[in-house]
Structure 1
Amino acid sequence: MCNGAYVIDFENNKMLYSDLLDMSDVRYIYDTVKAMDMDMMFELQADGVIYSERRCIEDTKRYNAYHIDEFIKKTRVPVENIGEYIASRDKPVAKVNIFFPTAEIRDEVVEKIKDINYDLSYSEGTNLEFNVKGTTKAKGLVALAEYLGISIEETMAIGDNLNDVDILKNAGISVVMDNARDEIKKLGDFITLSNDENGVAYAIKELIK
Structure 2
Amino acid sequence: MSEIRLVALDLDGTVFNDEKQISPRTLKAIRAALDKGVDVLPATGRTVDGVPRQFLEIPGVRYALTSNGASVVDLQTGERLVSLTFDPAMAEKAFDVVQPFGGLLSVFIHGVSYTAVSPTGDGLEVVPANLREYFRTTRNMVPDMHRMMEEHPTEIEKFSILYATEAQRDAAWQAVAAACPTLEIASSIERNMEINAPGVSKGPGLMALARHLGLAPAQVMAVGDSGNDRTMVQLAGLGVAMGNATEDIRRVADAITADNNHDGVAEAIEKYVL
Q: Does the pair score TM above 0.5? A: yes
Question: Where does residue 109 of structure 1 map in the other structure?
Answer: 172
Trace 1:134-145 onto structure 2 (pairs within 5 A): 134-145=199-210
From 69, 73, 87, give the equivalent of 2:136: 73
| Further displaced range: 106-115 or 181-190 | 181-190
| Local SS of the residue matching 2:101 | coil
From 186, 195, 201, give the equivalent of 1:121: 186
Q: Which is bigger in relative contact order (C-alpha 8 A, separation at least 6)? A: 2
Unaligned runs of at least 5 residues, structure 2: 1-65
Q: CA RMSD in A?
A: 2.5
| Local SS of the residue matching 2:177 | coil
Rounded to whole Å, the distance in 2 between the matches of 1:90 and 1:165 is 28
Unaligned runs of at least 5 residues, structure 1: none
Identity score, percent: 28
Pairs aligned (count): 206
Deviation at 1:133, TM superposition (A): 0.8
Rounded to whole Å, the distance in 2 between the matches of 1:99 and 1:187 is 26
Trace 1:1-150 onto structure 2 (pairs within 5 A): 1-34=66-99, 37-55=100-118, 58-61=122-125, 63-115=126-178, 116=180, 117-150=182-215
| Local SS of the residue matching 1:109 | helix
Relative to the length of structure 1, the TM-score reads 0.84
Q: Which amino acid aligns with 1:59?
A: G
Q: Contact 2:149–2:156 at 8 Å: present in 1 too?
A: no
Q: Contact 1:99–1:127 at 8 Å: present in 2 too?
A: yes
Relative to the length of structure 2, the TM-score reads 0.66
| Further displaced range: 184-193 or 14-23 | 184-193
Q: Which amino acid aligns with 2:158?
A: K
Q: Contact 1:64–1:126 at 8 Å: present in 2 too?
A: no
Q: Which amino acid aligns with 2:141?
A: P
Q: Contact 2:218–2:236 at 8 Å: present in 1 too?
A: yes
Question: Where does residue 243 of structure 2 map in the other structure?
Answer: 178
From 170, 179, 203, give the equivalent of 2:268: 203
Deviation track 1:140-179 (CA, whole Å, cap 9, x = no partner) reads: 1211111111111000111110121111111122222232
